[in-house]
Amino acid sequence: MTTFVELTRFKVAPDQVEALLAARPAMVADFRADREGFVDARLVRLPDEEWLDIVEWRSAEDFAASRAKGANLPGIAAFFAAIAEVVADEQGTLTDPEGNQ
């Protein structure tokens, strides 16, 4: 099975880090409840107030449908509100080096 991956690098002001982390569980729960094809999400803290959100989707179509919904639920809206700036947004296909896709 091929998994579609969304990679979003963003900045969070130091005074918003606590809000971002507090909102994360509700955001993931809202995605599980409302987003067809949502597989999993991982949040990585990077240097210089940057973060990387790695979100896996069953397909590119599922990702596109999710993106069209935007911040339609409170947990998602609270997480997005803590983001100061999106630095980069890329998508691709997850490929396991052992041959599982």
Do the domain assignments include residue 56?
yes
List, in order, residues 6 or more apart from 52 with CB less than 8 Å away: 7, 8, 9, 43, 44, 46
Cβ atoms of 82 and 12 within 8 Å: the answer is yes
| Structural domain of 53 | 3-90
Do the domain assignments include residue 31?
yes
* Residue-level pLDDT at 2: 75
100: pLDDT strictly greater than 60: no
Do the domain assignments include residue 9?
yes
Determine if residue 37 is left, alpha or beta; phi over 0 gives left, psi from -120 to 50 gives alpha, anything else beta: left
| Averaged pLDDT, 67-72 | 96
The pLDDT tens digits of the residues spanning 29-63 come to 999 999 999 999 999 999 999 999 999 999 999 99
Do the domain assignments include residue 96?
no
Three-point CA angle 76, 21, 80, nearest 5°: 30
What average pLDDT does the structure give for the chain? 94
CATH number of the domain that residue 53 is part of: 3.30.70.100
| Averaged pLDDT, 77-86 | 98
Give how many domains the chain has, as a whole number: 1
pTM score, whole prediction: 0.90
Do the domain assignments include residue 10?
yes
Do the domain assignments include residue 41?
yes
Do the domain assignments include residue 14?
yes
Do the domain assignments include residue 95?
no
